A and B are shown apart, each in its own frame.
Chain A
Amino acid sequence: MVYRTRYITQGIAKVLIWLAALSTIGVMVLILFQVLAEGLPVLHLRFFLDSPKSMGREGGILPTIVGTFALTVVAILFATPLGVGTAIFLREYTRESRISRLIRFGTDCLAGVPSIIFGLFGFVFFVIYLNMGWSILSGGLTLAAMILPTIISTAEEAIKAIPPSYREVSYSLGGTRWQTVMHTILPSALPGICTGILLSVGRSIGETAAVILTAGSSLLMPTSLFSPIRTMSVHFYILAREGISLKMAYGTGAALILLVLLVNTVANWLLNRYIRRRA
């Protein structure tokens, strides 16, 4: 009798788990499918190349694409040297100590700060205090702060994965620490670092709260780093809420999803290739 109950329990559990897993995947796919199904038909060349007309009811989303791109580039430009530098320092220049624990704690904490707080910070620090106004620069720097922890941890993982023998060979040939880093460590860690960058790009593209508060929401094509811009996700948010044009909203949403999908797929591919190389 006791034997039977165990197997009945297992049977029930198995069914429930399969159901749960499938329904989870199902709902997620549904969400994507809805936006893509309604939005893909809207995507044609003009959509990507035109500017919005008549309060966003017609036209395309070109300025938002440019804005998203500009913001991401600025963020990566500032976050990567800082992030990779931190990772190099942690892995190559110190051992576990009070300093390294403090740095890691700071990084982990930063990773947990919600985006609205970054938005508030970016607003009061970049927009007001440093007088940069609502601009690509303000938004990009705020985003840089947000993606810094991701870059640090992926760079660290990448550097950690390099076999000690690489370093030993370099040192034995008379290389200094910096030379070792520049000529051996970094090139080998590059795929991993790039993965981290790509993951951060994916995150930046979807970021909305912090961007609205720091980069503004102007629909004009930006003319300088100090121009305000509207990113694709902000545009999507505004369109969705205002009900100005559901068609355009779906289109922007579909474009957004495709972009994020693309970036993440490349990142995953890179990750797999990199892992396979190591193993």
Chain B
Amino acid sequence: MLLLWLLPLLLAIPLVSGCQRERAGITVAGSTSVEPFAELLAEEYMSRHPHSHIYVQGGGSTAGIEAVRTRAANIGTSSRSLLPDEKDLYAITIAKDAIAIIVNPKNPIRDLSLDHVRQVFSGKIKDWGELGDPPHPIVLVSREEGSGTRESFQKFVMGQEEISLESLVQDSNGAIRQVVSNDPYAIGYISLGLVNEQVKALKISGVEPTVTNIERNKYTLVRPFLFVFNGEPEGEAKSFLEFVLSPAAQALLSKEGLVSVLKPSGR
């Protein structure tokens, strides 16, 4: 009886080591910012093509790009532009996403200059009193190191300065939104597409983060959501890409708060 149980063990070891993952369908891996939208698109795609499988994974923009290079994934997703040494890969922008600076709805502040945002997040401005609010220490919330959203924030807002080490760190945009919606003194940054009635998005130097302002290039904290391929897209991956760039899919993304890449943008 026991021998019967030992059998799967002995069989498994040679079978499994060096075994390639036999999986029908394609893997889409990368940025956790893109992930929920990719999942939505995959869901929609699979309902139209019942025999296809699209596996969506996170792991981060950098990991996703790496996965495409090693062919561990068919499509890599990224919430930042390709770095110079990644330029050999083929990238297509499937949507644009803005970074919104958010505070708790109870916070009276509505508008901050980019300069002020930088000073707040670098720790130079530590108290809401310095910004015109009733005085109270500011609670910073940021994404973790390695996150594409953090890198974009770093690039667009911080420039050469470091985000303060005092800042709280959460490992997803949703978690940042949670913290800011619960703490009246918190400030954080998330994908515009994730802003809901639980938090308030600030105007930056008078410009409100809306789709119109993004399209007119007035709100500049905008980053591309990329699909990255190793070479020309083919087969199921190509089919999925075509779907993602279609008006139906782009309408779906717009509804979720992203900016469509199609012109003219229908909302």
User: Taking beta carbons and an 8 Å cutoff, which residues of A are in contact with B?
Assistant: 53-55, 77-78, 80-82, 84-85, 130-135, 137, 182, 186, 216-220, 223-224, 226-228, 238, 241-244
B23 contact from A77, A227, A244, Cβ within 8 A: A227
Q: Are the C-beta atoms of A137 and B6 separated by less than 8 Å?
A: no
A54 contact from B2, B9, B40, B178, Cβ within 8 A: B40
User: Taking beta carbons and an 8 Å cutoff, which residues of B are in contact with A?
Assistant: 1-2, 5-6, 8-9, 12, 16-24, 36, 39-40, 43, 53-58, 72, 170-172, 174-175, 177-178, 181, 198
Q: Are the C-beta atoms of B198 and A243 separated by less than 8 Å?
A: yes
A132 contact from B5, B19, B39, B43, Cβ within 8 A: B19
Q: Are the C-beta atoms of A220 and B177 separated by less than 8 Å?
A: no
Q: Are the C-beta atoms of A243 and B21 separated by less than 8 Å?
A: no
What residue of chain A has the Cβ atom nearest to residue B17's Cβ? A130
What residue of chain A has the Cβ atom nearest to residue B194's Cβ? A242
- Bound-state CA distance A53–B174 (Å) is 17
Q: Are the C-beta atoms of A53 and B43 separated by less than 8 Å?
A: yes
B174 contact from A130, A133, A244, Cβ within 8 A: A244
B178 contact from A80, A137, A227, A241, Cβ within 8 A: A241
In the assembled complex, which residues on chain A have CB atoms less than 8 Å from the CB atom of B58? 217
Q: Are the C-beta atoms of B22 and A224 separated by less than 8 Å?
A: yes
- Bound-state CA distance A133–B174 (Å) is 26
In the assembled complex, which residues on chain A have CB atoms less than 8 Å from the CB atom of B16? 130, 132, 137
Say how far B225's CB is from chain A's closest CB, in angstroms: 15
- Bound-state CA distance A52–B198 (Å) is 23
B40 contact from A55, A132, A182, Cβ within 8 A: A55
Say how far B120's CB is from chain A's closest CB, in angstroms: 23
Q: Are the C-beta atoms of B175 and A133 separated by less than 8 Å?
A: no
Q: List 24 A-B contacts (CB under 8 A).
A: A55-B40, A78-B9, A80-B5, A81-B2, A81-B6, A131-B18, A131-B20, A131-B21, A132-B21, A133-B21, A134-B57, A135-B21, A216-B57, A218-B56, A223-B23, A223-B53, A238-B172, A241-B170, A241-B171, A241-B175, A241-B178, A242-B172, A242-B178, A243-B174
In the assembled complex, which residues on chain A have CB atoms less than 8 Å from the CB atom of B43? 53-54
What residue of chain A has the Cβ atom nearest to residue B173's Cβ? A242
In the assembled complex, which residues on chain B have CB atoms less than 8 Å from the CB atom of A82? 9
Q: Are the C-beta atoms of B175 and A242 separated by less than 8 Å?
A: yes
Say how far B43's CB is from chain A's closest CB, in angstroms: 7
In the assembled complex, which residues on chain A have CB atoms less than 8 Å from the CB atom of B198? 243
Say how far B189's CB is from chain A's closest CB, in angstroms: 16
In the assembled complex, which residues on chain B have CB atoms less than 8 Å from the CB atom of A77? 5, 8
What residue of chain A has the Cβ atom nearest to residue B7's Cβ? A81
In the assembled complex, which residues on chain B have CB atoms less than 8 Å from the CB atom of A182? 1-2
Q: Are the C-beta atoms of A218 and B2 separated by less than 8 Å?
A: no
The 4 nearest A-B residue pairs measured at CB: A242-B174, A243-B178, A81-B5, A241-B175
What residue of chain A has the Cβ atom nearest to residue B8's Cβ? A77
In the assembled complex, which residues on chain B have CB atoms less than 8 Å from the CB atom of A134? 57
